[in-house]
Amino acid sequence: MKSLLLSAVFILATLGVTYAQEDSGIKFNVGGGISLLSNSFDQKFNATTTQGYPTSVDMTYGSASFGLNGFVDISPYFTLNLGYRLAIGTYTTTGTATGATVTGITPSQSNTVTQFELGGELKYPIQVNSTFSWAPKIGLDYVGFLSGAIGGTDLSPYADAKQQFSPIYVTLGADLNFKVNKEWFVRVPLDLGFGLNAKLSSSYYGSTTYTSSSSIALRGGLEVGYSI
């Protein structure tokens, strides 16, 4: 809920700034398409072996999803994104400790997680020629867990598992826009996301000592837009 509220506050604040800067007669664009997102979720902590020796542990989890996305350009400088995501491929786990590989983990498991997406982007359009423009952008994107299982285990009862699949990303990227005619255009959005809520609860780390965490996403899409 806090993640959703943070995204909503960002979007509302940006809308206020956008409208304050715009002249009358704001032109809207609407559209939708598909996207692919790949995520790497990393957890590092220090532990003590049964022999009493300290060891540094690095656990990395990987997943990917396919998205059905819609967008609204409130102005040339702000875009609101909505989406529904379905897992594709498997959920991968790799673990390394100081000088060794962590044993007892399943490297690849089935993934049936579904998610929703809500985000907003500030951008600056740059017109290259009559048919092509691009827009560097920065945004905030919330991809929230809806339902699903990893390796046949339902994640709904597990707060840490749901948090892993509910990242809040600060995104950097660019939109590539190709004009088809006066009303229609094709957009290729490219994004690099950095998770703000990668650190999990104290119960995940147990008796170990937390070191660092990260959640990084790469996303590309193909969308068709219409100018209203």
Whichever domain contains 201, its CATH number is: 2.40.128
Higher-pLDDT residue of 111, 55? 111
Please, are residues 191 and 217 in contact by the beta-carbon 8 Å criterion?
yes
Over range 195-224, report the average pLDDT. 95
Q: pLDDT above 70 covers what percent of the chain?
A: 88
**Does residue 168 have a pLDDT over 70?**
yes
- Quickly list DSSP for 118-159: EEEEEE--EE-SSSEEEEEEEEEEEEEEEE-EETTEE-TT-H
Give me the residue label for tokens 């965490």: 213
Question: What pLDDT score was predicted for residue 157?
Answer: 96
Buried b (16+ CB within 10 A) or exposed e, 70-92: ebbbbbbbbbbbebebebeebbb
Question: What pLDDT score was predicted for residue 82?
Answer: 97
What is the widest separation between alpha-carbon atoms in the chain? Answer: 72
pLDDT digits (tens, 9 = 90+) for 88-124: 999 999 999 988 888 889 999 999 999 999 999 999 9
pLDDT digits (tens, 9 = 90+) for 8-28: 555 555 554 444 444 444 579
Domain interval for residue 36 = 2-227
Structural domain total, the chain: 1
Question: What pLDDT score was predicted for residue 6?
Answer: 53
Over range 215-225, report the average pLDDT. 98
pLDDT digits (tens, 9 = 90+) for 115-153: 999 999 999 999 999 999 999 999 999 999 999 999 999
CA-wise closest residue to 105 among 63, 61, 65? 61
User: Which helix (H) or strand (E) covers residue 35, if one does?
Assistant: strand 29-48
Question: What pLDDT score was predicted for residue 52?
Answer: 66
Over range 16-43, report the average pLDDT. 76
> Which residues, in sequence order, are CB contacts of 217 under 8 Å at separation 6+?
37, 38, 39, 40, 167, 169, 191, 192, 193, 195
Question: What pLDDT score was predicted for residue 99?
Answer: 82
Q: What is the pTM of this model?
A: 0.85
- Name the region of 15 (left: φ>0; alpha: ψ -120 to 50; beta: rest): alpha
